[in-house]
Amino acid sequence: MHPPSSHTGPNALAAAKGQASAATGPGIPKVGPQTSSTAPAAAHKAPRSWLQLNTPMADWQGRRVWLVGASTGIGLACAQALRAAGAQVIVSARNAQGVQDWAAQDSGVQWRALDVGDHAAVQATARALLAEGPLDMVIYAAGYYKAQRATALDLEELLQHDKVNYQGALQIIHAVLPGMLARQSGHISLLSSVAGWRGLPNGLAYGPTKAALTHLAETLYMDLQDQGIGVSVVNPGFVATPLTAQNQFTMPALISPEQAASAMLEGWARGQFDIHFPKRFTLWLKLLRLLPYRLYFPLVRKFTGL
């Protein structure tokens, strides 16, 4: 892999793109050299420009990354891209979906079955992982989505969205943050969604949980930036995964999980806080956020027909 000095500025981006595209889709290839050491904590405190809200992370060699909610979709593609870049990845979710086979082939991959709704299991899994060594990054990608409108309100479904999309993240943060604070190092990245930027039809259950996650990331960032701990929030547009396979409408600017993973690695390599993509879609939504409601509501109705 590249010498450390090449992993800042444009080289970092080139490196990140190269690494992400090295990973192939589901089918879990064996990738990269086998490394077992964990990068020293100090490496994360490299100086950064004022544009970079986080310390850039492009050198994944020897870094230990726990991805929660990564047996499929964006989380899995991200685990593959990080592994291709030399990171040691721990993948958690309820169902292995082949990750166990991958772990059996590659000592740099661990499978840890976990339901984020089981608080004791979250604590126990985090304790077991931290007993093996520090975690350099924790990515919360677990997500649940069912379209819902207030005209057919389903409280149980509303609460299930909150349990997986928001409370699960709180459980994971609660389990890993003390270790990061003790080391004054680490990074927490939360997979939120542009659906959390402003209310959207069918998003009654999903949207508010993502708005909460983005708000949580903002507050975490402010509280932790002086503790050597990075925080980022990932806001994808539409990505072709099992979660969006239920959508009956044409999804604008739809991208693949691999493209999403590539954008995430690029965002971390740039030291970004708000990693949103694809820009040809998300920048319009950023604009929509600025509109007064008397313009926003009719425009959304016009665009969605809902």
Residue 166 contacts residue 212 (beta carbons within 8 Å): yes
Q: Considering the complex, what minimum distance in angstroms separates the CB of residue 34 from ligand NAP?
A: 25
**Token pair listed for 172:** 């994971």
Q: Considering the complex, what minimum distance in angstroms separates the CB of residue 259 from ligand NAP?
A: 11
Residue 143 or 203 having the CB closest to ligand NAP: 143
Distance between CA atoms of residues 251 and 238, nearest Å: 6
Residue 37 or 95 having the CB closest to ligand NAP: 95
What is the torsion angle, in degrees rounded to the nearest 10, for the CA atoms of residue 249, residue 245, residue 89 and residue 49? 0
- How much is the CA Rg of the chain, to the nearest whole Å? 19
Name the E strands within the chain. Answer: 64-68, 88-93, 109-113, 137-140, 186-191, 229-236, 274-277
Query: Under the rule (CB under 6 A), what is the footprint of ligand NAP?
Result: 69-75, 93-95, 114-117, 141-145, 164, 191, 193, 236, 238-239, 241-244
Residue 39 or 263 having the CB closest to ligand NAP: 263
Residue 56 or 69 having the CB closest to ligand NAP: 69
Residue 25 or 40 having the CB closest to ligand NAP: 25
Residue 257 contacts residue 241 (beta carbons within 8 Å): yes
Q: 252 — phi, psi (to 5°)?
A: -65, 145
In single-letter form, the type of residue at position 187 comes to: H
Q: Considering the complex, what minimum distance in angstroms separates the CB of residue 33 from ligand NAP?
A: 26
Distance between CA atoms of residues 157 and 173, nearest Å: 24
The β-bridge partners of 224 are none
Q: Considering the complex, what minimum distance in angstroms separates the CB of residue 242 from ligand NAP?
A: 4
Residues carrying an active site annotation: 206
Q: Considering the complex, what minimum distance in angstroms separates the CB of residue 12 from ligand NAP?
A: 24
Residue 34 contacts residue 108 (beta carbons within 8 Å): yes
